[in-house]
Structure 1
Amino acid sequence: MKKVTGIGGVFFKCKDPKKMTEWYHKHLGLETNPYGATFEWYEGADSTKKAQTQWTPFAEDTKYFEPSTKDFMINYRVENLEELVKELQKEGVTIVDKMETYDYGKFIHILDEEGNKVQLWEAID
């Protein structure tokens, strides 16, 4: 079973997310939006399978990364999230919350071996 297919996003804490987003736009040319920046790319040689990776700064006091105490969280793109969650549960991996479904995909959070919160995303591209 194929598990991770790519990086879906990089999220980090900072003192002022708006100023951080503006800095990256001004100095590194990121095309920013209210959520940070979105990088579009194609999966492999098939130019019809567009995908994206999200870059998002969060306020340093955000609770979104809890129960992890780390200042970052990585989102991994996956295939067949429901089956993957069943497999992870059998392997004793900590599942933080319930799967949520939106018009752009399914999400769930897990903890890795060192307590880093990891977001898993089955995208609807």
Structure 2
Amino acid sequence: MAKVLGIGGMFFRSRDTKALAAWYEQHLGITELWQQEQGMTVFAPFKQTSDYFPADKQWMINFRVDDLDGMMSQLNAADIATETRPDEWDTAETGRFCRLHDPEGNQIELWQPPK
């Protein structure tokens, strides 16, 4: 049986494509052609009524990171607000999470998997 091997791309609309691409590269290290490290990817539709991310958005991307505290420090130093809710979002089974928004208001989740 044929199957999908992974995500080949992530495409979304932007008011200023060059500026938004530069923001992702500067702050998250993501370039247009991005070679990912191998690892699990979660693909999960959410109920229309979910409050896990803003109701006016159809998607939220989650990026795997190796040092959540370091990444949050870098983002905060660049005046990019991050939010954590350790008691609500983090577990020994799933790892640690934080959230931020790109310049166009898209919510991003950063995830450090458990060791």
Q: Same fold (TM over 0.5)?
A: yes
Aligned to 1:60: 48
2:103 is equivalent to residue 105 of structure 1: no
Instruction: Report the number of matched residues.
Output: 78
TM-score (norm 2): 0.58
Task: Please identify which structure carries the higher strand content.
Answer: 1
Quote the offset at 1:101 in angstroms: 2.7
**Aligned-pair Cα RMSD in Å:** 2.4
CA deviation digits over 1:48-95, x for unaligned, max 9?
A: xxx2100111111221113x7311001100111011101111111122
Letter in 2 for 1:101: D
4+ aligned runs moved over 2 Å, structure 1: 96-101
Task: Please identify which structure carries the higher helix content.
Answer: 2
Q: Percent identity?
A: 28
Aligned to 1:84: 71
Residues 96 and 111, structure 1, Cα contact 8 Å, conserved in 2: no
TM-score (norm 1): 0.53
* Unmatched 5+ stretches in structure 1: 1-6, 11-41, 44-50
